[in-house]
Chains A and B, each alone.
Chain A
Amino acid sequence: MSQISRRGLLKTGAAASVLAATGLPAKAAPKRGGRLRAALSGANTSDSWDGRTHSDLFMIASASGCVFDCLTETAADGTLVGELAESWEASADAKTWTFNLRQGVTFHNGKSFGADDVIESLQMHTAEGAKSAAKPIVSAITDMKKLGEHQVQFTLAAGNADFPFLLSDYHILMFPAGQIEEAIANGIGTGLYSVVSFDPGVRFVGKRVESHYKGDTAGYFDEIEYIAVNDNTARMNALMTGQVDAVNRIDFKVEALLKANPAVRIQEVTGNQHYTFPMLTKIAPFDNVHVRQALKYGINRQELVDKILLGHGQVGNDTPIGPANPYYAGDMEQLAYDPDKAKFHLNAAGLDSLDIDLSASNAAFEGAVDAAQLYQASAAAGGININVVQEPADGYWSNVWLKKPFCASYWSGRATEDWMFSTAYEAGVPWNDSQWEHPRFQELLLSARAELDTTKRREQYREMQEILRVEGGVLVPMFANYVQAVSNTVASPDVVGNLWQMDNARMAERWWVA
């Protein structure tokens, strides 16, 4: 599959249907039938079928993973395939995109799917007063034209080679035009499973749609039951006692017990999820690049991976681009713990020692306060005196993040470089949590975005990662693995998606009864 270049896939989605048809190599052929029962965390009483509000696993797995479809889909191996779009084509400047939609697709209420549904579903994100996490993606579209019942043309404000990737975002679900309110209330999509019952924060049950356009290559279970279990121990118990077939986010403390159970296997993938310490680079002393470099050498990344993630992760190199990204520069020189270099850079900044506050709370990530304390201890050897300020978990994202000069944070990562950079590293964007503004970086960001030549793009993204590694204002000490456990009653493909937990939240589609 690696012979097909990513560029080829992007320019013409024609190969996508071939990819989808071949499926993934598997030990035993998947078979239809049975029920998948999974205990998932991240559920809330405020959950609904409104894709714009989805932020955690339970609804992502239920909505984009079962009931709804997007235009495109990221396959388990990271390639982009068509979901409701069959193929797509870009103009040379990557500004105009024409999408050919799949024909003969119907919503669960019988309405047939077409260009109007696409246009109205995208407009949801920019509607006045709507709070959509995908607003930046959709507001970059200046014009949507219906060329035919099954063809839509998008015109973008600026060229973006990643545009088809952006449309695989789990927020951008396709709703039936004219019935969106009803579809949000009852969960009416085009997905493999229709809603049997949904109780927010408690349970979702879905039934396989007969004669679905994905045919026999996906959606092997007859029925799906997702049970909301936010409590770690209860989730592990449910799997150990065989009441569910799969659980997400295993508790590392009981990992050994799960491993000792022959009926259970652990799935672990390294994706783009990373834990960070962003500093506001427009505020002293973080505006001094030598101070930032001193801080980079003062942190013991390996120790954090070993003690905070208990080994379930990978050291970071101060860039948000992870192994699940296509242009990940894994061969850059690794930043290592070196108190002497930290001292050297402090001196270069004209300082003997540095006293700073680091705000942390476990709301940022599990173990953030411990991580800050470990950092405090390792940085002291380099003359950096960190005062760890423990912040309340409530209101952390509104009162501390983006406001305190140096704090703990996390990102689940994005499928493409441009998506990640334009979310948190582009000059002036609201989530730029390091106030990052770098002329060369910004220039590269804009030119790489519209670049359709893979080789040139790779060079540009490499240089951007190098800039962040050396000068960037965000410490990315570690990438945290997605670790989940699956009972042997359920089979999964050899390659499991690493963009998001539970096979990119699509286990209902890709797994089958063993």
Chain B
Amino acid sequence: MGSVTRIILQRLALGLLTLFIVSIVIFIAVNLLPGDFAEAILGQGATPEAVASIREGLGLDKPPITRYFDWLGGAIQGDLGSSFAQANFASFTGSDAASGTTVAEQIAPRFKNTLFLAGVTAAIAVPVSIFLGVLAALYRNSIFDRATNILTLSSISSPDFFLAYVLILFLSVLNPLLPSLSNIYDGMDFSERLVKSLLPALTLTLAVTAQMMRMTRAAIINLLASPYIEMARLKGISPMRVIVTHALPNALAPIITVIALNLAYLITGVVVVEVVFVYPGIGQLFVDSVKIRDIPVVQACCLIFAAAYILLNLSADVLSILSNPRLRHPK
């Protein structure tokens, strides 16, 4: 187990470095965009004095490098700063940016919603894809196998918003079964929340099923030529049992890796789906914040996205090691 701990620590350190680099890239990218928060928020009313006074209130008049290190200093101590959007920049007495909502307060409820959607999607997508993958391996090259392949591959090849609209058309407009507006809010009871989140969850399921299902199928088929599977067959075990109890445990490592990658996608790749269904998750907040150049929120969102990728990849690696006795007990 010592080696596993070492790997985890190593990967965490690398992850922090990655986050640091990501933060620099994001900061530069946001600064390259034309316009800033003051101009975006004032729109047609952007007189030079008003722009200058908002910039001063938010510290946007300082050079970028100073701003970056101010932000980094805070972030290291766990303070992601104040959101520009809710900064009370037009307070009664004048500029006072300090009294705004913190980024953490703004992101927390949205991130919770995104996690909820990811959870619902994963609860549907992971069992379905593994089940389909096992069946496809069992009946490989049959009509069923081909049909599943065609369906999942075409859904992964279509853009998310197209899948979303197709589902809205069939499940919401033509047959009014599910709501097309997923405006969940605090205080909604669980079942209503679930119903409202179902269409975006189904859309995301269609988007992620193919990879997991095909990896399951490929990993199992790969093992079916092994001598121990042949032995099991010769013992007279049913094909289903051969796959589920003999092949599947040994195929888990690659499957777990793919599942982890797809879970990360459920957190970072939901932007379009959230906008289409008006789901108040982190993706929509991200889009809104980019639109008005709310840099602290944009940076925090990006860090969360990057951290989700890093952590899920790390757990995939750890789980693969744990599921493989050869890696668990190195010589």
A and B together in one complex: yes
Residues of A within 8 A of B (CB): 39, 44-46, 48, 50, 52-53, 55, 124, 127-133, 180-181, 184, 197, 199-203, 227-229, 231, 233-234, 237-238, 240-244, 392, 394-395, 397-399, 401, 409, 430-431
Q: What is the minimal beta-carbon distance from B325 to any residue of chain A, in angstroms?
A: 50
Contact of B276 among A48, A234, A430 (CB under 8 A): A234
Contacts of A431 in B (CB 8 A): 44
Give per-residue flags for B151-182: 1 if the beta carbon is below 8 A from chain A beta carbons, else 0.
Answer: 00000000000000100100011001001110
Is B90's CB under 8 angstroms from A130's CB?
Answer: yes
Task: Report which of B89, B278, B292 forms a contact with A227, defined as CB distance below 8 A.
Answer: B278
Do A200 and B180 form a contact, CB below 8 Å, given A55-B43, A233-B276?
A: no
How far does the alpha carbon of A220 sit from the alpha carbon of B41 in the complex, in Å?
34
Nearest first, the 10 closest Cβ-Cβ pairs linking A and B are A129-B94, A395-B35, A46-B85, A394-B35, A398-B46, A394-B34, A45-B85, A398-B39, A237-B180, A395-B34
Chain B residues whose CB sits within 8 angstroms of the CB of A228 once the complex forms: 278
Q: Given known contacts A241-B173, A241-B180, is B106 in contact with A45 (CB within 8 Å)?
A: yes
A46 to B40, CA, bound (A): 11
Known A130-B90, A238-B180, A394-B39; further 11 A-B contacts with Cβ < 8 A: A44-B291, A55-B45, A129-B95, A130-B92, A197-B185, A200-B85, A200-B86, A228-B278, A241-B179, A243-B180, A398-B42
Most chain B CB within a 10 A radius of its CB, from A44, A50, A237, A397: A237
Shortest C-beta distance, A230 to chain B (Å), equals 8
B18 within 8 A of A: no
In the assembled complex, the Cα of A498 lies from the Cα of B63 at a distance in Å of: 46
Q: Are B86 and A237 in contact, CB atoms less than 8 angstroms apart?
A: no
Q: Which of B172, B183, B288, B297 has the most CB of A within 10 A?
A: B183
A180 to B35, CA, bound (A): 31
Contact residues in B for A131 (Cβ distance below 8 Å): 42, 45, 50, 53-54, 89-90
A48 and chain B: residue at smallest CB distance: B86
Q: Which residues of A sit under 8 angstroms from B106, Cβ to Cβ?
A: 45
Partner of B179, one of A50, A229, A243: A243
**B→A interface (CB under 8 Å):** 33-35, 39-47, 50-51, 53-54, 83-86, 88-95, 106, 165, 168, 172-173, 176, 179-181, 183, 185-187, 275-278, 280, 285, 288-289, 291-292, 294, 297
**Closest B residue, CB atoms, query A235:** B278
Query: Shortest distance in angstroms between A11's beta carbon and chain B's nearest beta carbon?
Result: 33
Complex interface: chain B residues within 8 A of A180 (CB)? 92
Residues of A within 8 A of B45 (CB): 55, 131, 133, 397
B96 to chain A, nearest CB (A): 9
Bound complex: CA A314 to CA B77 (Å): 58
A385 to chain B, nearest CB (A): 28
Can you list 18 A-B contacts with CB-CB less than 8 angstroms, sorted by A residue number?
Answer: A39-B181, A45-B85, A52-B90, A53-B41, A131-B50, A180-B92, A181-B91, A181-B92, A184-B91, A201-B285, A203-B183, A233-B276, A234-B277, A237-B168, A237-B173, A394-B34, A394-B39, A430-B47
Which residues from B are CB-within-8-Å of A39? Answer: 181, 278
Contact residues in B for A399 (Cβ distance below 8 Å): 34-35
Q: Is the CB–CB distance between B44 and A229 below 8 Å?
A: no
**B-chain residues with CB within 8 Å of residue A231 when the two chains form the complex:** 275-276, 278
- Nearest residue, chain A, Cβ from B277: A234
Which of A46, A52, A129, A241 contacts B93 (CB under 8 A)?
Answer: A129
A contact residues around B83 at 8 Å (CB):
45
CB distance from B85 to the nearest CB of A (A): 4
Known: A45-B285, A243-B179. A202 touches B276 (CB 8 A): no
A45 lies within 8 A of B86 (CB)? yes
Contact indicator A394/B86 (Cβ below 8 Å): no
B315 shortest CB reach to chain A, Å = 31
Instruction: Evaluate contact between A202 and B86: CB separation under 8 angstroms.
Output: no
A53, A55, A131, A401 — most chain B CB neighbours (10 Å): A131
Complex Cα–Cα for A394 and B293 (A): 10
Q: How far is the CA of A430 from the CA of B50 in the complex (A)?
A: 12
Task: Give the complex CA separation of A150 and B45 in angstroms.
Answer: 34
A residues within 8 A CB of B292?
Answer: 44-46
CA distance A199 to B172 in the complex (A): 26
Residue in A229, A241, A395, A397 whose CB lies within 8 Å of B176 = A241
* A45 lies within 8 A of B294 (CB): yes
Residues on B with C-beta less than 8 A from A132 are 90
Taken together as a complex, chains A and B put the C-alpha atoms of A237 and B278 apart, in Å, by 11
B259 → A minimal CB distance (Å): 30
CA–CA, A130 and B288, complex, Å: 24
> Cβ of B39: which chain A residues have Cβ within 8 Å of it?
394-395, 397-398
Q: What residue of chain A has the Cβ atom nearest to residue B33's Cβ?
A: A394
Q: Flag if B181 contacts A229 (CB, 8 Å).
A: yes
Quick one: which of A129, A130, A197, A241 has the most chain B CB within 10 A?
A129
A401 and B44 contact, Cβ closer than 8 Å, known pairs A46-B292, A241-B180: yes
| A53 to chain B: closest residue by CB | B90
Nearest CB of chain A from residue B290's CB, rounded to whole Å: 10
- Chain B's closest residue to A128 (CB) is B94
A181, A237, A409: the one contacting B181 at CB < 8 Å is A237
Question: Are the CB atoms of A127 and B93 closer together than 8 Å?
Answer: yes
Contacts of B89 in A (CB 8 A): 131
CA distance A181 to B92 in the complex (A): 7
CA distance A388 to B86 in the complex (A): 38
With contacts A237-B180, A395-B39 known, is A127 near B92, CB below 8 A?
A: yes
A129 to B46, CA, bound (A): 14
